[in-house]
Structure 1
Amino acid sequence: VCKTICRLAEDRNIFIGVETHGGLVWNSMQCNRLLREVDSPYLKIVYDVANIYRNGGDPLKEIKNIEIENIIAVQFHDLKKINNKYTTVLLGKGIVPFKNVIEYLRKKGYEKYVVDEYERWWNPKLPDPKIGLPYELNLLKTYFKV
């Protein structure tokens, strides 16, 4: 299926991003296997730092195992573990180690997409997006030094 989708994407000059979100890929080994098997320059990875962490991976180690050119977007959100269950919190207020991932991206000269995944839908206790999103975007700008 991925090969067919990528052929269609190539005909239209668009990229397909597969997120590290379980199911299909949730670590660098699976990302690299999918990229190898599909073998299309139009298939890329949407690297979700928190999902890698939630699934027991080390986000920095995992991202280093994927060629930076194969990552079309890096997605940020944060988590806390409450009553043995992960819940979304404001970026920088949880336990996801994302700062070292940002430093790595900066050192590699990463210039593709950065996504702030604001998950109020899943956690209505998060601040209104009019407050929470500017906070998180400013935090990302600070860490990316832009």
Structure 2
Amino acid sequence: MRISLSTLGCPDWDLDTICTTAADNGFDGVDFRGYREEIDVTQHPQFTDRLVETMARLADAGLTVSGLSTSIRICFADKREENLAEARRYIPLAHELGVDTIRVFGVGDAEEHSLEELARVGGETVRDILALDGAADLRWLVETHDNWTSSADCRLLLDELPDDNTGILWDVGHTTRLGGESPAETLDAIGDRIEYVHVKDAVYAPDDENAKDDGWVFVLPGEGELPIDDALRELDDRGYDGWVVHEHEKRWQPYVADPEVAYPAFAEWYRTVLE
């Protein structure tokens, strides 16, 4: 396994700080989910006019871009053109960076449509995306998120997607905290389609002022109640050799630890668990 940090956790950092911190703490890569003020990196000069500079800085730090995380939501029929426009921006960037992994969301309006209907829409959207130039050379991974958190629901969506170009991004916190599954249960059910992993930790503290709607509060890896140790060991035991990404949500959750604290804590947790 290789570890990567998500830029969701350091929205105020410039590229040099990201690269230096990642390299100094033993990270192998960076997952770009936004850069500074822009959530869509294809809209930032660092990934357009200054892309060559960006690639050189990453290479100098010995880092790989592990993935690009988009806001594409495949199960909304009325967002087809919006989704295709975003895909058209990310495909050439992925090829320039040598990235083969692009994250998308499922989402969809589950109040108006059944999951079966939403899954069919998702399948249609992905086939439309794959028809774009260069798209079929990439892996389009649906995150275990929103309507598609449990393994059974993920399987329903996967059945509508082309096997050769799609898979699952497993957010361990979502399937355990929201889906009610143990890591072993998730891996037994959809482990054959998991190609990328997000990890963060949390405690159940519904009275905390920072608690999410479900009562959970994010904390540093290893300091919470989520079975992320079990997940990492299960992945290791099963021979998973892909990316494990620290998805620290500083951009969305300002109360969480600053990135200069969180990233080293994740790297130390990772090494300790696998000792």
1:91 equivalent to 2:221? Answer yes
Instruction: Identify if the C-alpha distance between structure 1 residues 21 and 138 changes in structure 2 by more than 3 Å, giving closer, same or farther.
Output: same
**Distance between the aligned counterparts of 1:137 and 1:9, measured in 2?**
37
Tell whether the 8 Å contact from 1:10 to 1:42 is kept in structure 2 after alignment: no
Tell whether the 8 Å contact from 2:143 to 2:168 is kept in structure 1 after alignment: yes
Count matched residues. Answer: 143
Partner of 1:31: 154
Partner of 2:236: 106
Unaligned stretches of 5+ residues in structure 2: 1-124, 208-214
Partner of 1:132: 262
**Distance between the aligned counterparts of 2:135 and 2:254, measured in 1?**
41
Q: Where in structure 2 are the equivalents of 1:1-146 lying within 5 Å?
A: 1-8=125-132, 11-23=135-147, 25-60=148-183, 61-68=185-192, 70-83=193-206, 85-145=215-275
* 1:83-138 CA-partner distances (Å, limit 9, x unpaired): 25111111111111111111111111101111111122343333220121111122
**Distance between the aligned counterparts of 1:17 and 1:44, measured in 2?**
5
Kindly state the Cα deviation for residue 67 of structure 1 after the two structures are TM-superposed.
Answer: 3.4
TM-score, scaled relative to structure 1: 0.86
Partner of 2:48: none
Tell whether the 8 Å contact from 1:15 to 1:44 is kept in structure 2 after alignment: yes
* 1:14-34 CA-partner distances (Å, limit 9, x unpaired): 0111111113x1111122222
Kindly state the Cα deviation for residue 5 of structure 1 after the two structures are TM-superposed.
Answer: 2.3
Counterpart secondary structure, 2:160: helix
Unaligned stretches of 5+ residues in structure 1: none
Kindly state the Cα deviation for residue 12 of structure 1 after the two structures are TM-superposed.
Answer: 4.1
TM-score, scaled relative to structure 2: 0.48
RMSD: 2.0
Identity %: 27
